[in-house]
């Protein structure tokens, strides 16, 4: 069932099944809360204002390019595209005028909510007029997100959902048990820009079996199939399935009160960071007339 409400001045939609309640507002097409069997496991701020004063991208759809583009520029069709930089020399999460501050158009379509955003040519430096569509659907214990996009000129497109989770509901997430079936982890420099090397997921990066997180992460794992991760804590299991090629696992956010540091972890289905500067990474190129389509499914169940 889908209902319409308000969150501050923004339209908000509530998607509900017996197990799951997900609220999504038109600002940033942001998930403002996920409750599993009455417990808040997907984090959200108290007020709409909080979303405008923090920069954790909490629950938002990030675009046009999630994660970093090194040097804030990339080659495209024989010329260089220059982007505004918002993290030192680099462009993070689509740049300074980020999509989490945009008001999307939301419509109920059956059991789904469909959000669309028209990003004009040159938006934050990115070529082409891009129409992005993000569909949220709740079925049983699962929240599915479908990402689509169409552009009128060649460009890059690499959105993500930037939800943070705390499966106990409160406290640190460092004792959450995590499994990430990865083929490797991207080596990065001190600014978190990939060097191009894929390292084996060993030692601190070995999440081949469920084990406590234990320390902070802000790393891109190269996925090995559609199961991106499994997380267990507080009697709740979250699994994430996706056809994106990588997963950014991020625990270090200071989300502000009342969450504190390590109060949530983000598992972001993504293209590889800085893909447009690495011809050997899976391509984030979206050609004019081509249709972009990717999905992510977050499934919640009881864990012993």
CB of 302 to ligand GAL, least distance (A): 29
Residue 162 among the catalytic residues: yes
**268-279 b/e with 16+ CB inside 10 Å = b?**
bbbbbbbbbbbe
Residue 54 among the catalytic residues: no
Beta carbons within 8 Å of 225's beta carbon, 6+ residues apart:
181
Among 176, 239, 248, 262, binds ligand GAL (CB under 6 A): 248
| Segment 30 to 59, residues that bind ligand GAL, using CB under 6 A | 56-57
Q: Are 220 and 248 in contact (CB under 8 A)?
A: yes
CB of 57 to ligand GAL, least distance (A): 5
Nearest to 29 by CA among 3, 1, 51, 55: 51
* Matching residue, tokens 């008001």: 103
Pick the piece of the chain touching ligand GAL (CB under 6 A) from 176-184, 222-230, 239-247, 248-256: 248-256
CB of 210 to ligand GAL, least distance (A): 23
- Residue 100 binds ligand GAL (CB under 6 A): no
Q: Are 185 and 144 in contact (CB under 8 A)?
A: no
Other CB atoms within a 10 A radius of the CB of residue 53 amount to: 9
Number of H helices, E strands in the chain: 1, 28
Among 41, 134, 253, 284, binds ligand GAL (CB under 6 A): 253
Nearest to 236 by CA among 296, 181, 164, 166: 166
Among 20, 92, 229, 275, binds ligand GAL (CB under 6 A): 92
Pick the piece of the chain touching ligand GAL (CB under 6 A) from 30-38, 111-119, 130-138, 247-255: 247-255
Q: Which residues contact ligand GAL (rule: CB under 6 A)?
A: 56-57, 67, 92, 192, 218, 248, 250, 253, 268
Catalytically annotated residues: 162, 268
């Amino acid at each position: 069932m889908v209902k319409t409400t308000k969150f501050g001045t923004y339209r908000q939609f509530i998607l509900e099944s017996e197990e799951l309640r997900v609220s999504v507002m038109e600002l940033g097409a942001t998930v403002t809360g996920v409750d599993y069997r009455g417990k808040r496991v997907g984090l959200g701020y108290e007020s709409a204002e909080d979303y405008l004063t923090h920069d954790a991208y909490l629950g938002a759809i990030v675009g046009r390019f999630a994660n970093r583009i090194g040097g804030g520029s990339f080659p495209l069709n024989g010329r260089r595209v220059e982007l505004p930089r918002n993290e030192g020399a680099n462009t993070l999460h689509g740049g300074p005028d980020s999509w989490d501050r945009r008001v999307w158009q939301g419509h109920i379509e059956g059991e789904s909510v469909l959000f669309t955003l028209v990003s004009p040519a040159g938006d934050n430096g990115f070529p082409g007029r891009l129409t992005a569509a993000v569909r949220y659907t709740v079925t049983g214990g699962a929240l599915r997100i479908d990402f689509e996009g169409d552009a009128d000129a060649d460009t890059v497109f690499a959105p993500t959902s930037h939800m943070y989770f705390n499966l106990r509901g409160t406290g640190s997430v460092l004792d959450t048990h995590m499994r990430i079936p990865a083929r490797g982890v991207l080596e990065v420099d001190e600014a978190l820009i990939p060097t191009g090397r894929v390292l084996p997921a060993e030692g601190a990066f070995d999440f081949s079996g469920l084990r406590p997180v234990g320390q902070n992460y802000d790393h891109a794992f190269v996925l090995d199939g559609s199961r991106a991760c499994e997380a267990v804590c507080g009697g709740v299991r979250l699994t994430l399935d996706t056809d994106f090629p990588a997963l950014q696992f991020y625990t270090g956010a200071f989300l502000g009160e009342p969450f504190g540091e390590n109060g949530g972890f983000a598992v972001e289905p993504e293209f590889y960071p800085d893909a447009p500067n690495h011809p050997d990474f899976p391509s984030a190129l979206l050609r004019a007339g081509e249709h972009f389509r990717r999905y992510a499914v977050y499934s919640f169940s009881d864990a012993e």
